[in-house]
Amino acid sequence: MVCAGAGGVGKTTMAAALAMGAAAGGAKVAVVTIDPARRLAEALGLEELGNEPRRIAPERFAAHGVVLEGELWALMLDPKRTFDELIERLAPDARTRDEVLSNRIYAQLSQAVAGSQEFSAIAKLYELHAEGDFDLIVLDTPPSRNALDFLDAPERLTGFFQGRALKVFLRPAGFGGRLLGRGTGVAFGVLRRVTGVDLLEDLSVFFRALSGMIGDFVTRADRVAALLSDPGTTFLIVTSPRHDPVEEAIFFHRKLREAGMPFGGLVVNRMHVAPELERSGDEASGRGRCAGELSAALGGLAGRVATSAAELVALAARDAANVAHLRAVLGDPPLLVVPERQDDVHDVEGLAHVRAHLWEEA
Ligand SMILES: Nc1ncnc2c1ncn2[C@@H]1O[C@H](COP(=O)(O)OP(=O)(O)O)[C@@H](O)[C@H]1O
Ligand SMILES: [Mg+2]
């Protein structure tokens, strides 16, 4: 299950709450988190985790009244480490492996290639899936500006390895050869003397070592991409009920469909809920009612409380309208709503609240 969506809408929170809920229900679950807030990571003991899933002690949940019938395993993704592991697996021999891993160009590239964080997230998903040890794997997605970055990642990386840029480097008499031409040769020589970094040597070692692995790398990226369209995969689009994330969710949903990837449903997170004012039978605006009821008790503060209540009513109406629009455009998809909490969701108790909303309406 892939939790995707715009930045900051609650993907990491949902991934954790869903994994916890499924584990509570008896499944053996792994959650791959990417950028949990520090306090959430602490609450789950994620900080002590490496790049392999480890079981979270059930006591952490029991202390907050959450009983896990199943097991919850978690890892915090280390993109660089995941990339390194991939090289280790694909390298034909130990020497090539070490050459690549210790190479300065590789060190830069493995972090900087556009989408490498996204790619390593999917690569990790692929490995966990191939090991076949879990009933459910929940994948948080990186904090990209655009959710689409995630879908494009394998293709973009494959494109890089098959692309012209790399071919030019790898051709015997290509760029590498030309680098040795007089002008550039001198430039690199100066650079080496000034910086102490032999860029040319780094470049040629890197590309020579990598050239033998490109075929396997591309095959791997293809398989990783295929897992995303596997019927066993489900994309959950997480969004907030604000205008921009809703539009992005609609766009992302369309892209998912076009790419033939399985869409499972939507979670609308941080929904404003109007205060319950109608209990008194007064149908007047929130502001009028609140002001009347509270003024005696609160004096001057009452006006501000009333204004605040009126604002909340307006926000709730706006959110409801955005969600109605979302439902209409997507043809009434499976959709769960999680209200905005006063506090961040940074501990097991917060997750338990979120989970209650996810399961209550499921
Ligand atoms: N329903 C909610 N109510 C209040 N705060 C929330 C809610 N859901 C998430 N948050 C908070 O919003 C922030 C962003 O959530 P996060 O899950 O990290 O988003 P993303 O992974 O999409 O960037 C976090 O501080 C989180 O605790
Ligand atoms: Mg996140």
Could you read off the pLDDT of 277-328 as tens digits, one per residue?
655 444 455 555 666 666 667 777 777 888 888 999 999 999 999 999 999 9
pLDDT of residue 51: 85
Q: Is residue 14's pLDDT more than 80? A: yes
240-243 contacts, C-beta under 8 A, 24 or more apart = 240/6, 240/8, 240/9, 240/10, 240/268, 240/269, 240/270, 241/268, 241/270, 241/271, 241/272, 241/318, 241/319, 241/320, 241/322, 241/323, 241/326, 242/319, 242/322, 243/322
Which residues 6+ apart lie within 8 Å of 355 measured at CB? 17, 18, 20, 21, 24, 66
pLDDT of residue 259: 87
Q: What is the pLDDT of residues 225-271, one digit of tens each?
A: 888 889 999 999 999 999 999 999 999 999 999 988 999 999 999 99
Contact between 113 and 235 under an 8 Å Cβ cutoff? The reply is: no
Return the closest-CA partner of residue 234 out of 260, 258, 261: 261
Q: Is residue 55's pLDDT more than 50? A: yes
Which of 3, 9, 13, 31 is the pocket-test mutation for ligand 1 (most atoms within 8 Å of CB)?
13
pLDDT of residue 45: 84
Task: Describe the crossing of helices 214-229 and 148-162 by its angle, rounded to 10 degrees.
Answer: 160
Q: What is the mean pLDDT of the chain?
A: 83
Q: What is the pLDDT of residues 58-79, one digit of tens each?
A: 999 999 999 999 999 999 888 8
- Does ligand 1 have an atom closer than 6 angstroms to the CB of 8? yes
Å from CA of 344 to ligand 1 middle = 6
Return the closest-CA partner of residue 139 out of 22, 27, 236: 236
In ligand 1, the atom with minimum distance to the C-alpha of 8 is: 23
pLDDT of residue 251: 93
Lowest-confidence pick of 16-25, 52-61, 139-148 = 139-148
Å from CA of 35 to ligand 2 middle = 5
Å from CA of 269 to ligand 1 middle = 8
Å from CA of 140 to ligand 2 middle = 7
Q: What is the pLDDT of residues 101-140, one digit of tens each?
A: 988 878 877 766 556 778 788 888 888 999 989 999 999 9
In ligand 1, the atom with minimum distance to the C-alpha of 354 is: 1
Q: Please give the torsion angle defined by the CA atoms of residues 16, 22, 28 and 31, in that order, rounded to the nearest 10 degrees.
A: -20
pLDDT of residue 358: 94
- Residue with CA at minimum distance from ligand 1 atom 23: 8
pLDDT band, very low/low/confident/very high, at 362 (cuts 50, 70, 90): very low
Contact between 18 and 24 under an 8 Å Cβ cutoff? The reply is: no
Which residue's structure tokens are 């604002």?
Answer: 311
